[in-house]
Structure 1
Amino acid sequence: MTEASFARRRFLMGAASAATAAALPTGLSWAATSAPPQDMDGSPIALSPAFGVLKQIDAGDLRVGYVEAGPADGPPVLLLHGWPYDIHTYEEVAPLLAAAGHRVIVPYARGYGTTRFLSPDTPRNGQQGALASDAIALLDALRIPKALVAGCDWGARTAGILAALWPERCEALVSVSGYLLVSRKVNAQPLPPAAELQWWYQYYFATERGRLGYEKYRAEFSRLIWQLASPQWRFDDATFARSAAAFANPDHVDIVVHNYRWRLGLAEGESRFDAIEARIGAAPAIAIPAITLEGDANGAPHPSPAAYRSKFTGRYEHRDLRGGIGHNLPQEAPKAFAQAILDVRRL
């Protein structure tokens, strides 16, 4: 699919979103329903059989869409995606882990893919505490008392929050770019101009023009972020299209915009998450076994490994990946990411 095709197809995103919004019985896979996930032009998307089965389950505020792969009694692994990405970040990671005997769970975050809010009255809130609470609610709904958690981008932040605040629910952690927990107090402090420039989209989203721009051009915008964040990743149109379909979710723009406005202190969160945010803002250490990863061509803003080394107080290892690996590390280097998950228990 060409970029010109995406420009034409953005007008059809609302129709695709409506077609995937049907409420599904808890726990049923798409193979057992009449409403498969759809591309931005309304055509059905077929997940790779090796990836897993796309299911739905009620969990907390959400009816969560998630892929499950591997044996049901295997050690559970929860893989969390970021923005502007989706579950396909782990399309090649999941089969590797499943083949090694793991039960792999890959959920669409709120505002992505087939995940839907159960109530129209729930705030479309993208703050980090809400996303972390969603992950805990999903583990509860799946009756998973403890899982290895791993993530990239927003997903790395969520996985890190789980590891720090709910260590009893986390066997170990694998995180791209290390320690990403957000303190709004620290975030209020200005950075040098060159560093601020890297966050241009954060300031764009702070404006109404930015919200409207992302609503209108979300596919083009997301593709640009992919290119900037992973400048040496030669992804094709089909690869992007599989993930871009997830952005047709009716709550996607609201969740993304609120996430960045909340970080800047320009939007309020929900009071029910205040206690969680206070704990996150105190920059708690992570004591469970952890491996952090960084690519040598990450074009997105990210801290240096030395800056967060002290935040990991348990068994810990950092791995630098070479070969032009960018921000979406699990999709660009799936074998290395899967290997880190297999290795972290043995630290």
Structure 2
Amino acid sequence: MSERHALAPLRRVSTDVLEVAYYETGSGDDTVLLLHGFPYDIHSYAGVAPLLAESGFRVVVPYLRGHGPTRFLSESTQRSGQQAALGADVVAFLDALGVERAYLAGYDWGGRAANVAAALWPERVLGLVSVNSYLIQDIGAAMEPVAPEREAGFWYFYYFLTERGRAGLAADPRGVAQVIWKRNSPKWQFREEDLERTARAFANPDYTDVVIHSYRHRLGFAPGAEAYASLETRLAELPAITVPTVTLDGLADGNFPAADGSSTARHFTGPRLHRKVADAGHNLPQESPEAFAAAVRDVRVLRQEYAGSDGFAGRNQDTT
């Protein structure tokens, strides 16, 4: 990806907590928020954004808290990276944009933020696209082991529990990202310039604090911010997602093996389609932009079909 494909220029808007930097394109009646993950940035959507703009969407791609030019408004605000904070940021951002309802689409941290917003504020969400299905964390069960092969891929979860890990991330965030990218997406032949552009987002002064808190909180090793305590209580119940949803799994995801969607079906009580995407890894929108854009278009159709009927014949279908 060359410099001419950078998502620029950026706009800015303030919420109660953040000044959010974002890219916007398209002018359709339907707004879609594209939410990036860790350790990535808004350029995961450089190929997706123009496709959706051409399909009639207003496309908005924000930098998450702790990333890029997005900044906290107050020095006294805890630099939390917990899931409730990420979800609340989405709704506050919609408020700041003056958008009543939007489609949400994301992967990794961004997918989790979208899941949280869809579960807790369904009246604000027209539909959801989520890579790796249901992403609300069950923090109470976070220390239950998984298969050793998967544990190896999560090395940075445990690294970040230590002060050595904090120091390592602060000293070389680009190097940490490079190792994670290779493991997460073994078939993705990313270029040096792709990594270099994304690494600029890690220069945010709050990046290390937000990332470290995110992983320590999700594993139960750090308390959440008091401001999000009531939301975390609700998330601990693993609330269902009722809005129309398309879930995606990459068949080349190095850490999250693709599945047929059945193991998470109970969490989606509205209409849902599940798809597996060939050759795609964890950073699915950047690796397979056409497939990701198609999922956003299809969740809009899914919503239209569901709104026009008493039920939905395609509920929780696997459409591999």
TM-score (norm 1): 0.83
Q: Give the alignment of 1:97-246 within 5 angstroms.
A: 97-246=52-201
Does residue 61 in structure 1 map to residue 17 in structure 2? yes
Report the counterpart of residue 321 of structure 1 in structure 2: 277
1:310 is aligned, of 260, 266, 270, to: 266
2:33 is aligned, of 78, 87, 109, to: 78
Q: Residues 339, 231 of structure 1: CA spacing in aligned structure 2 closer, same or farther, 3 A cutoff? A: same
Q: Residues 70, 133 of structure 1: CA spacing in aligned structure 2 closer, same or farther, 3 A cutoff? A: same
Deviation at 1:329, TM superposition (A): 0.3
DSSP-derived class of the 2:286 partner:
helix
Report the counterpart of residue 28 of structure 1 in structure 2: none
The answer to whether the 8 Å contact 2:45/2:286 transfers is yes
Report the counterpart of residue 5 of structure 2 in structure 1: 48
The 1-side partners of 2:169 and 2:258 are apart by 26
The answer to whether the 8 Å contact 2:53/2:59 transfers is yes
Deviation at 1:199, TM superposition (A): 1.8
Runs (5+) with no aligned partner, structure 1: 1-44
Deviates more, 1:203-212 or 1:269-278: 269-278
Q: Residues 286, 303 of structure 1: CA spacing in aligned structure 2 closer, same or farther, 3 A cutoff? A: farther
Deviation at 1:313, TM superposition (A): 1.2
The 2-side partners of 1:303 and 1:213 are apart by 31
- Root-mean-square deviation (CA, aligned residues, Å) is 1.6
DSSP-derived class of the 1:57 partner:
strand
Q: Deviation string for 1:222-273 (max 9, x for gaps)?
A: 0111111000100111111111110111110111111000111111111221
1:337 is aligned, of 285, 288, 292, to: 292
State the one-letter code of the partner of 2:74: S
State the one-letter code of the partner of 2:255: A
Report the counterpart of residue 318 of structure 2 in structure 1: none
Alignment size in residue pairs: 300
Deviation at 1:46, TM superposition (A): 5.7
DSSP-derived class of the 1:138 partner:
helix
Q: Deviation string for 1:84-106 (max 9, x for gaps)?
A: 00000101101111111211110
Q: Residues 253, 47 of structure 1: CA spacing in aligned structure 2 closer, same or farther, 3 A cutoff? A: farther
The 2-side partners of 1:289 and 1:264 are apart by 30
The answer to whether the 8 Å contact 2:128/2:246 transfers is yes
The answer to whether the 8 Å contact 2:150/2:255 transfers is no
Deviation at 1:303, TM superposition (A): 7.3
The answer to whether the 8 Å contact 2:174/2:195 transfers is no
Percent pairwise identity: 47
DSSP-derived class of the 1:201 partner:
helix
The 2-side partners of 1:337 and 1:270 are apart by 33
Runs (5+) with no aligned partner, structure 2: 303-320
State the one-letter code of the partner of 1:59: T
DSSP-derived class of the 1:345 partner:
helix
Deviation at 1:47, TM superposition (A): 6.1
The 1-side partners of 2:300 and 2:51 are apart by 16
Report the counterpart of residue 248 of structure 1 in structure 2: 203
The answer to whether the 8 Å contact 2:253/2:282 transfers is yes
The 1-side partners of 2:257 and 2:242 are apart by 22
